[in-house]
Structure 1
Amino acid sequence: MRIDVLTLFPEIFTHFEEWSIIGRIIDKGLVTIRKINIRDFSEDKHKRVDDYPYGGGPGMIMKPEPIYSAIKEVKSDNSKVIYLSPQGKVLNQQLVNRLSKEEHLILLCGHYEGIDNRIIENYVDLEISIGDYVLTGGEIPAMVLIESIIRLLPGALGKESYKEESHFNGLLEYPQYTRPRVFNGLSVPEVLLSGNHQKIQEWRKYQSLKNTYLKRPDLLENIQLTDEEMKILKKIKEEFDRK
Structure 2
Amino acid sequence: MSSKNKVKKSGGIGETIMVIVQALLLALVIRTVLFQPFSIPSGSMRPTLLEGDYLFVSKFSYGFSKYSLPLSPDLFSGRIWGSEPKRGDVVVFKLPSDTNIDYIKRVIGLPGDRVQMRGGALYINDEPVQREKIGTISNPDVTEQNRPVDVYRETLPNGVSYDTLDLAQGTMGDDTRVFEVPEGHYFMMGDNRDNSLDSRFGVGYVPYENLVGRANIIFFSIAGKASPLEIWKWPSELRGSRLLTSVNGKPDTEVTAP
Task: Give the shorter-chain TM-score range.
Answer: under 0.3
Give the number of the structure whose residues are more often strand, by fraction.
2
Higher share in helix: 1
TM-score (norm 1): 0.23
TM-score normalised over the length of structure 2: 0.23
